[in-house]
Structure 1
Amino acid sequence: MLALKNCYAWPNIKTAFVILFLSTIYATTSGQKKNSSYQYDIRKATSAIKIDGVIDDRAWQDAAVAKDFFMVQPMDTSFAKTLTQVRMAYDEHNLYLLAECFQGVAGPNYVESLRNDWNFGKNDNFLMFMDPFDDQTNGFAFGTNAAGAQWDGMMYGGSAVDLNWDNKWKSAVKNYKDKWVLELAIPFKSIRYKKDISKWGINFSRLDLKTSEKSSWAPVPRQFPTASLAYSGILAWDQPPPSAGSNISLIPYALGATTKNHDNNSPSTYRKDVGVDAKIALTSSLNLDLTVNPDFSQVEVDRQVTNLDRFELFFPERRQFFLENGDLFANFGYASIRPFFSRRIGLGVPIRFGARISGKPDKNWRIGAMNMQTGGVDNTGLPAQNFTVASVQRRVFSRSNIGVIFINKESVNYHPGADPTKPTYSNYNRNIGLEYNLASSDNKITGKALVLKSFTPGTSGGDFVQAGNIQYSGRKMLVSWQHEYVGKNYNPEVGYVPRRGYVKINPSAGYFFFPKGGKILSHGPQLVYLSYFNTSLKKTDDEAFINYSFTTRKQSTFSTFLSYDYVELLQAFDPTNFTKDTLARGSTHRWNAWGTSFVSKPQSVFTYAFSSRYGGYYAKGTRLNLTADIGYRFQPYVSLALSTSYNNIDLPKPWNQHTFWLVGPRVDVTMTNKLFFTTFVQYNNQQNNINLNTRFQWRYKPASDIFFVYTDNYLPAPFSVRNRAMVLKWTYWWNL
C-alpha cells in the first residue's frame, strides 16, 4: 500500500533540492513587501498620556486613526463587519497605543481568564504585531483580552510567538456599552530596535468571538495567522525613535524550600537560596543576559502522557533564562532533529552561572552566544560541565536566511575511568551545523535545508545529518515534501535526536473546499505518507494516512482518518512500556486503524473535545485510544478543565490485556490580573503515580512576583505519599 521502492529514495531527495532551488529563485524575484502600501504615520504625543482606557488625552485627538480592518476569518474577501480603530503615539520613554474595539453584536465579551498569555482562540482580544527591523521575520507582540489580561511574546520564524518571553509594560482596558477600549504603554527599554530606523513593520489583529470574526488592519490571507509579518504594514515615524538610553535590569530572587522523600523514609531537607539575573542592553538591539545560581522552582511541571512510543519523548523548555531569542538556538533543525536542546543543561545537576548575548546588530544579521557552567554530582561521578552555543543568521533575499550553529559540551577537570565504580562520561561532544531557511515574500513557499556534523572522542564516519523540506501553502491547497538522513553515529549530547541511522521521506498534500453558504466553512482531504529506511536503504517503517476534516463557521472542527502502518523493530521493544516483556529485534508488524476527532466552538463557556483511535497494534494485537477534554469557565475568574486519556491494549501472551488511564483535572483561578492560583492533578497508572501541583502567584509589581508552590506525588494503591515539596520564592525586577 503506497509502497516506495528503495532505489527511488535518493533520486527523490535530489528532486527535492531542485524544487528548493527553483523556489529560491521565486523568492528572489518576488521580494517586494506585500502590504507596503498600508502605512500608519506615528507622531510624537502632543500631551501626556494616562493609561486608563479613557480617550480624553489631547494626544489621542491629534493622532492618526487606523481603521477599515479586513476580515481574515471566516473568509478573507471583504472588510470586517466589527469596527476597530487604532491610534498610536510616542514620547521620550514609551510607545503608546489605543484601540477602540466596537461591539458587532450586543452582549458580554468572551474572556477565558485574567491570567497573562491566555489562549488566543478563547478570548475576545486585540493584538499588535511589531517588526522593528522590518525584516518580516522577527519582532514583538503585545495586546490584551477584553478583560485586560496581558498577552506578550517575542516573534520569530515570520509568525510564531514565544509567550514565555516576559517584560515590563503597562495596559488598561475599560468596557463601555458599545465597545471596549485598550490603552497601553511599552517602554522603549523593553524592546529591541535600531534607533536610526524610521520604518517598522506593524499590524493589528482583532478577534471577536460573538461574530466569529478575526480581522486585521493590513490584509492577511485566511490560511495564515494574523501574526504573519510577511503581511504587516508600515509604521512610519515622523523622526527616528528615541534612544532607550541606559538599560540595565537586575532580577534577584530569594527562596526557602523543604522536600521529603517518603519512598526511602529519609528526613526532610531544607534549602535557602539566593541568586540573580541581569539584563544589560549593549545596544538598543543587542542584549546581554547573565545569571548566577539560577532557580526554576516556580516553573510548572511537565504534563504527563501515556508513553507507547519506541523513542524518547520531547518536553518543551519552560525556564525563563533560555527563552528570550531562544529560537536562535532551539529552532535549528526539525522537531525530531535538534542539535541543541536546552533541557540537557542542568537536568538533575546545579547550574552555577551562565551568560548569553543575543539580538540583531542590523537588519540583516542576528547573533546569539551562550555559555553555561554546571556543577558535578558526586554520587554518580558526573563531572562539572561547560556548555557553549553560538548561532549566527544572515538574511538573504526578502525573508530567507542562512544560519550557522556551533555547540560544545566540555567536561571540566575530568579523567574518564579514574573511578571504576562510577559511570564513564565523554570528555567533550561538539556539533556544527549549516541551515538555509526559505520564505517567499508572500509566505506561500517555505522550506529548509540543513547539514549537521558531530564530533565525539573515538567516533568517525556516519556522524552527520542532511535534511530538507519544501512547502506550498495556498488558500485551498497545501503540499509539502520532507526528507531526512541521520547517520548511525551522529551524536548530539546536548540535542534531541531520538532516532539515528535512518533515511526518511515524508510527502503530504491537502485540499480545502469553501461552500458559498451553510454551516460548513471549509472541508477537505489530506494525505500523508511517511517511510523510513536504514542507511543501506532497506525499508523499516511505513505509514500512510488519509484524513478528511470539516470546519464550521463557528470554528468547531471535526475530522476522521484511516491509516496503515508497517514497522520492523530495530531494537527489542515492550509494546506496553509497562510489563518489561519485549518483542524481538527484527520482527515485523502491520496494522490498519481508523479514528475521529472533534473540537467544539470556542465561543461557549462550556467547551469540549474528543478523539478516538481503534485498530491493530504490534504482534497482531489491537489498541483502542479515547481522549476527552472538557472545560467550563466562570469568566473571567475561574476556569475548570478535565483531560482524560484511555488506552486499551489487547495482545497475545505474555502481555495479554492492559488498560492505561491518564486523568488530569485542573482549576485555574484568577482573582485579579495580579493574583493567580492554579492547581492540577495527574493520575497516570502506567507510571503508577498521582501528581498534585499547586501554584500561587502574586505579581505585586510589573514582572516582579511572589510564588508559593506545593507538589505531591502519591502511590495510587495503597494510597500513600511518595514525596512532597514546598517552595516560597520572591523575585523583583529592578531597573537601574
Structure 2
Amino acid sequence: MAKYISTLVLLLFCFICSAQSSNKSFVVKQINADIVPDGILDEPSWEIADSANEFWQYFPLDSVQSKKQTDIKMLYDDDNLYVGIKVYTAGSDYAIESLKRDFRAGNSDNITLLFDTFNDGNNAFLFGINPYGVRREGLVSGGGLNLNGFTISWDVKWRGDSKIYDGYYTAEMVIPLTAFKFKEGETKWRFNSYRFDTQSNENSTWMHIPQNQNIYGLTFMGDMVFEKPLGKYRTPLAFIPYINMITQKDFELNDPNSNIKVGGDAKVAIGNSMNLDITVNPDFSQVEVDNQVTNLTRFEVSLPEKRQFFIDNSDLFGSFGGGRDANPFFSRRIGIAKDTADNSIENKITGGVRLSGKLTKGLRLGFLNLQTGEDLDEQIASNNNTMLALQQSVFGRSNIGMFFINRQTFKDYDFQDSDDRYNRVAGVDYNLISNNNTWNGKFYLHKSFAHNSGSRDLSSGTFLQYNSRNWNFFEDIVYIGEDFRSDLGFIRRTDIFKTATMFERIFWPEDSALQTHSFKLFPILTFSPDNNFLNTDYEVMGSWESKFTDLSEINVVYNNTYTYLFEEFDPTDKDDAIPLPGEIGYHYNSISLEYKSDSRKRFAYAIQPTMGTFFNGDRYSIQGEMFLRFQPKVFLSLAMNYDKISLPDPYASADIWLISPKIDVTFSKSVFWSTLVQYSNQRDNLGLNSRLQWRFAPLSDLFIVYNDNYFVNAFEPKYRSLNLKFTYWLNI
C-alpha cells in the first residue's frame, strides 16, 4: 500500500512542479548616460539597446503574429530602468478614455508591461502608457488567474511620456529600481507585455498566450536578462503628510462641526524586497465614494478596497479562504463600525504599521497592526487589529500560507459584551497553480477563537479548476461552522455546507463574426449541518454566452432557484411591509438576456432585462449602462437598475430604482473633476459627490470634495460636508 501511495505522491509532485517555460529573451544593457522621458527616442543609447519584438496576436486570433507590431527596448543604470517603446498603428484615431492616471486598458489604445522580478510566476509589477502619455501602474498576484489578483490602486513614483507620429507612436519610461522589489544580485526578470489596438481591432502580446488564459496572466512570460547583476539599492524613504480641513453637518442630529485633521504615511524599503508602511491618524477622504448597489438578498455585499495603505502585497493578507463565502481577512472591516442604530459608520484609525514582502526567494511575510479609536457616544470600543501571514512557495508556482488574526479590546466597556472582547482566527491554505494554468486550486482549514464560543468554529474548503481551450470545469466546496467568527473577515453566513460545480463547453468558430461562444451549467447547493443537513438553498444556472469579433456580447441565462427561510424576510426592505413568513421554502425561476456593445466606441452601452418569479410573487428587472466619450477630456456615464417586485397581498410590492449618472472631466494630466450622483429609493438616499483634484507634483494632490445627501421620500437634507485636503509625496 505504501508503494502505491509513494507513486501517487511522486506523480502529483511531477504534475504540479513543472514550471512555466520561457522561450524568448532579450538583454538589458547597462548605461551611464541620462535619458529624458519625453517620449522621443532620440538618445544615442537607444541605438545599442536590445529589442523585445515579434508580438503575437491574442485577439481575434491567437495563432498568428500581430498585424501591427511593437518594439520594446530596455536599458538600466544603478538607479533606474529605462524603457523605450515604438508602437505601429493603422492611423492616429486613438481611443482614449481620459487624461487621468490609472485608466482602464481594455476599452482604449495602450500598452502594458509586466515584470515578475522574483521569477516565481505569482506576483508582478505592472506599468502602462497610452499614446497621449497617460500612465498607470498596478500589481498582479495569484499568478494573474483572475481579476481578484489584479489592481491598479497601487501608486509609485515614475516618469513617462508619449509622442504621436504618422503610423506609430513612441513612449519612454523611467522607472526607479526602488519602485520594484527584487533579490540583490539578480541577473534576470521574467517579462511580458500586452497591447490594445482599437484601429486594427487586435490585442497582442510579446509572449504567445492562448485565448483561454488571461492576457495579464503570469504563466507565459519571457526573460529580460541584465548585462550585470543588480545591486543593492539605497533604502528609500517616502513621507506622505496631509492636512484636511472639513466642515460638515448631520441634519438628523442637527450636529454641525468643523475641524482640521493632520496626519500622514511613511513608506520605508527594508532591503530590496521588503516594505514597511507606517500610518498616523490616516485620512481616506480622497478615496472615491463607493458605488451603491441594489441588494435583494438577506446577506451583506462586499465592496473593493481602495485605500492605498492596504494595497501593496494585499494578496498576502486578503487571499486566504474563499473569496465569496469564507474570507477571514477583509481590510475594509478596519475603520468601520456599527453605531447604536446598527448603521455602518467610520471608526477612526489612530495609527498602525504594515510590513510585507519577501524574506527569502520562496518565503513571503505579511504583518499588520492598526489601532482604532473609541466612540463612547456611539458605544464603539477601541480595538487593536493584528494579522501575521506567511507564504512559502512549493512545487514551482504553488504555495502554502499560514496566518493568525487577532482583534482585541484592551479596555473594559460597560456597553460591550464579554463575548466581543476578542476574536482570533488561525489557519492554513494550500494554493495550487499547475503548468500552463491547466489546473489551479485551493485547500484551506481555519479555526476561530472567541470568549464563550461553541465547538463548531471551523471553516474549511476546497476548490479545484480545470481550464483548457474547449473545456472549463471547477468544483468549490465550503464548510463554515455555526460558531465560526472572524470580526476582520467577510463571512456572508455560517452553518453552511456548500457545493458549487461549473461545467463549460467553449467553441471557437472559424471565419465568423462570432469570436467564441459557450454553454455553461452551474449548480450551487447549500445545506445546513445544524439542521440535519437541510437543503436551504439551491440555484441551477444554465447559460449561453457569446462574444463577437467587434467585442460586443450576447448572453442568455436561466436560473432555477430554491430558498428556505429560517426567519421572516422582506425583500422590498420597506419600513411598514409585512415580511414573508419563515420556516418555509420558496421555488422561483428567471431568465435574462444581456447585450454589451463595443466598449471601445465613443458611445457604448449594455442592457440586461430579467423576468421571472421571485419567492411567492414575480420580478421584472432591467439593468443598463451607457458611456459617452468626448475624448480625451470628458467621459460621461449612466448606470441604472430597476426592479419591480410584485408579491401577493398582504405582502409588499415595490419599484426599486438605483440611478447613477457620473461625469469625469480631465482638463489636463494634472487637473481632474468628477461628479457622481446616486439615487436609491431602497436606501432612501440621494447622494452627490463632487471632487476637484489638482496633481501639482507626482502623486501629490490638492483635493476639494463636496458631499451632499438627501432623504428621497421627504427630500430633506441628511448629511453635507466640504473637504479641503492637501497631500504631498516626499521622497528622501
Structure 2 residue matching 1:229: 3-state secondary structure: coil
Distance 2:553 2:544 in 1: 11
Structure 2 residue matching 1:113: 3-state secondary structure: coil
Distance 2:125 2:724 in 1: 31
Which amino acid counterpart does residue 155 of structure 1 have in structure 2? V
| 8 Å Cα contact 2:35-2:43 kept in structure 1 | yes
Give the match for residue 262 of structure 1: 251
Give the match for residue 599 of structure 1: 596
CA displacement 1:300-329 (0-9 Å, x = unmatched): 111111111111111122211111111111
Distance 2:290 2:12 in 1: 42
2:189 matched to 1:200?
yes
2:182 matched to 1:185?
no
2:135 matched to 1:144?
no
Question: Structure 1 pair 394/380, CA: closer, same or farther in 2 (3 Å)?
Answer: same
Give the match for residue 403 of structure 2: 405
Distance 2:326 2:163 in 1: 47
| 8 Å Cα contact 1:141-1:161 kept in structure 2 | no
Distance 2:714 2:10 in 1: 62
2:502 aligned to which of 487, 496, 508 = 508
1:100 aligned to which of 86, 99, 103 = 86
Distance 2:11 2:316 in 1: 25
Q: CA deviation at 1:234?
A: 0.9
Question: Structure 1 pair 121/696, CA: closer, same or farther in 2 (3 Å)?
Answer: same
Give the match for residue 631 of structure 1: 627
2:452 matched to 1:458?
yes
Give the match for residue 75 of structure 1: 61
| 8 Å Cα contact 1:286-1:360 kept in structure 2 | yes
2:118 matched to 1:133?
yes
Question: Structure 1 pair 302/357, CA: closer, same or farther in 2 (3 Å)?
Answer: same
| 8 Å Cα contact 1:67-1:217 kept in structure 2 | yes
2:275 matched to 1:287?
yes
CA displacement 1:271-296 (0-9 Å, x = unmatched): 10110211111111001111111111
CA displacement 1:154-213 (0-9 Å, x = unmatched): 221111322111010001011111111111011011221112111211001111012221
Give the match for residue 162 of structure 2: 173
Give the match for residue 674 of structure 1: 670
Q: CA deviation at 1:463?
A: 0.5
Distance 2:53 2:455 in 1: 60
Q: CA deviation at 1:424?
A: 6.2
| 8 Å Cα contact 1:28-1:398 kept in structure 2 | no
Distance 2:10 2:551 in 1: 35
Give the alignment of 1:2-401 within 5 angstroms.
Answer: 25=11, 28-29=14-15, 31-45=17-31, 47-103=33-89, 105-159=90-144, 160-266=149-255, 268-335=256-323, 336-347=325-336, 348-401=346-399
Give the match for residue 520 of structure 2: 526
| 8 Å Cα contact 2:457-2:482 kept in structure 1 | yes
Q: CA deviation at 1:411?
A: 0.2
Structure 2 residue matching 1:48: 3-state secondary structure: coil
Q: CA deviation at 1:245?
A: 0.6
| 8 Å Cα contact 1:27-1:439 kept in structure 2 | no
Distance 2:18 2:188 in 1: 15
Point out the more displaced range, 564-573 or 426-435: 564-573
Which amino acid counterpart does residue 186 of structure 1 have in structure 2? I
Which amino acid counterpart does residue 149 of structure 1 have in structure 2? V
Distance 1:484 1:718 in 2: 44
Question: Structure 1 pair 281/175, CA: closer, same or farther in 2 (3 Å)?
Answer: same
Which amino acid counterpart does residue 77 of structure 2 have in structure 1? D
Q: CA deviation at 1:22?
A: 7.6
| 8 Å Cα contact 2:240-2:265 kept in structure 1 | yes
Structure 1 residue matching 2:47: 3-state secondary structure: helix
Distance 1:506 1:23 in 2: 27
Distance 2:258 2:690 in 1: 19
Question: Structure 1 pair 308/323, CA: closer, same or farther in 2 (3 Å)?
Answer: same
CA displacement 1:16-60 (0-9 Å, x = unmatched): xx9xx9899556336444442211211112632111111111111
Distance 1:292 1:411 in 2: 20
Give the match for residue 610 of structure 1: 607
CA displacement 1:334-378 (0-9 Å, x = unmatched): 222111111211112211110011001222011100001111111
Distance 1:500 1:151 in 2: 40
Give the alignment of 1:535-546 within 5 angstroms.
Answer: 535=529, 536-546=532-542
Which amino acid counterpart does residue 134 of structure 2 have in structure 1? A
Distance 1:573 1:62 in 2: 70
Please report the RMSD computed on the Cα atoms of aligned residues, expressed in angstroms. Answer: 1.7
2:674 matched to 1:660?
no
How many residues align? The count is: 710
Q: CA deviation at 1:640?
A: 0.4
Distance 2:9 2:201 in 1: 35
Distance 1:99 1:578 in 2: 57
| 8 Å Cα contact 1:523-1:551 kept in structure 2 | yes
Question: Structure 1 pair 381/717, CA: closer, same or farther in 2 (3 Å)?
Answer: closer
Q: CA deviation at 1:585?
A: 2.1
Which amino acid counterpart does residue 166 of structure 1 have in structure 2? D
Which amino acid counterpart does residue 465 of structure 1 have in structure 2? S
Which amino acid counterpart does residue 317 of structure 1 have in structure 2? E
Which amino acid counterpart does residue 606 of structure 1 have in structure 2? F
| 8 Å Cα contact 2:419-2:451 kept in structure 1 | no
Which amino acid counterpart does residue 334 of structure 2 have in structure 1? I
CA displacement 1:457-502 (0-9 Å, x = unmatched): 0013110011011001111211111111110110111111011101
Distance 2:545 2:150 in 1: 26
Q: CA deviation at 1:262?
A: 2.0
The TM-score, its normalising length taken from structure 2, stands at 0.95
2:697 aligned to which of 680, 701, 708 = 701
Structure 2 residue matching 1:189: 3-state secondary structure: helix
The TM-score, its normalising length taken from structure 1, stands at 0.94
Amino-acid identity (%): 34
2:579 matched to 1:582?
yes
Question: Structure 1 pair 384/204, CA: closer, same or farther in 2 (3 Å)?
Answer: same
Distance 1:106 1:40 in 2: 29
Distance 1:349 1:656 in 2: 35
Distance 1:458 1:722 in 2: 40
Structure 2 residue matching 1:315: 3-state secondary structure: coil
Distance 1:635 1:431 in 2: 49
Stretches of structure 1 that go unaligned for 5 or more consecutive residues are: 1-17
Question: Structure 1 pair 522/42, CA: closer, same or farther in 2 (3 Å)?
Answer: same
Which amino acid counterpart does residue 723 of structure 2 have in structure 1? V
| 8 Å Cα contact 2:19-2:397 kept in structure 1 | no
Distance 2:20 2:280 in 1: 45
Distance 1:318 1:142 in 2: 19
